[in-house]
Amino acid sequence: MFIVFRCGCGRHLYAPKDAKTRTCPCGKRTVLRKARILAEADDAIIAGEIVRRLQLGGQEMTGFRTARLP
């Protein structure tokens, strides 16, 4: 499983669900446990696609499993 989240700089990123941290190209390291999960994906290809859509500003997540909001 991969998770999709947003860095403090506004970039959307994905990482393996069991990873602890993910460093954004902006240099900020996000602790995944504290990140707000936007979506989950079964593999990196789907996660990358979700990230691309989020970057484009599309909020429609049709066809993807969205994360449960707290």
The Cα–Cα gap between 44 and 52 comes to 12
Interaction mask 4-23, Zn ion, x per CB under 5 A: ---x-x-x------------
Residue ranges of E strands in 1-70: 2-6, 12-16, 21-23, 29-31, 37-41
What is the nearest approach in angstroms of Zn ion to the Cβ of residue 44? 19
Binding-site residue total for Zn ion (CB under 5 A)?
A: 6
Q: Which of 28, 29, 36, 52 binds Zn ion (CB under 5 A)?
A: 28
Residues that bind Zn ion (CB under 5 A): 7, 9, 11, 24, 26, 28
